[in-house]
Amino acid sequence: MKIGVLALQGAFREHRLMLESLGCTVTEVRLPKHLEGLVGLVIPGGESTTIGKLMVQYGLLEGIRDFHAAGGAIWGTCAGAILLATEIEASDQPRLGLLDMRVKRNAFGRQVDSFEVALEIKGLSAPFPAVFIRAPIIESVGANVEVLAKHEDAIVLVRQERLLASSFHPELTNNSSLHALFMAMCDSSSVAVS
């Protein structure tokens, strides 16, 4: 299985190592041509405004939209979740706009307010050690979006068909269960996008 990790800014290396530990072949994606042959793409945490501007600069907004339309699965973590959203509160920043949800950036506070919590996630047998760093809240979702986890009534993990979005950073833990879930999503999506 070949999965890409958007490698413009943020915690892409940690995602790569986690996926490789599960037996994936991982490509670092910096240009649209790097999406060829992939079944999935992870958009990591970082700074969503910066990543969005770089995606515009390198032609990746349309490239990633085309990748998804052709059958590719996408997982956005933290900033990546923001970039997947159709609506970002009080922001007109560049975004993919693929996942039917409204997000609020930095809703859990500043970097100094970072925390880890044992999160109950639908479909996982044990609590997940979720790391929140300047994390967004998913304020609302469309009818076709499944809520997989909440923290104190705030939505923090959702799925819409071949799209997955988490407010937190699973790549900063030793728990690979969400990466395995995403691999299963990729496995059930269509053939590699060419």
Catalytic residues: 78, 169, 171
Collapsed DSSP state (helix, strand, coil) of residue 180? helix
Q: Residue 127's closest CA among 116, 135, 137?
A: 116
Q: What are the tokens at 50?
A: 């910066």
Structure tokens at 95: 């975004």
Helices (H), 4-150: 12-21, 48-57, 60-69, 79-84
Structure tokens at 192: 């590699």
Are the C-beta atoms of residues 55 and 64 closer than 8 Å to each other?
Answer: yes
Q: Residue 107 is encoded by which pair of tokens?
A: 């809703």
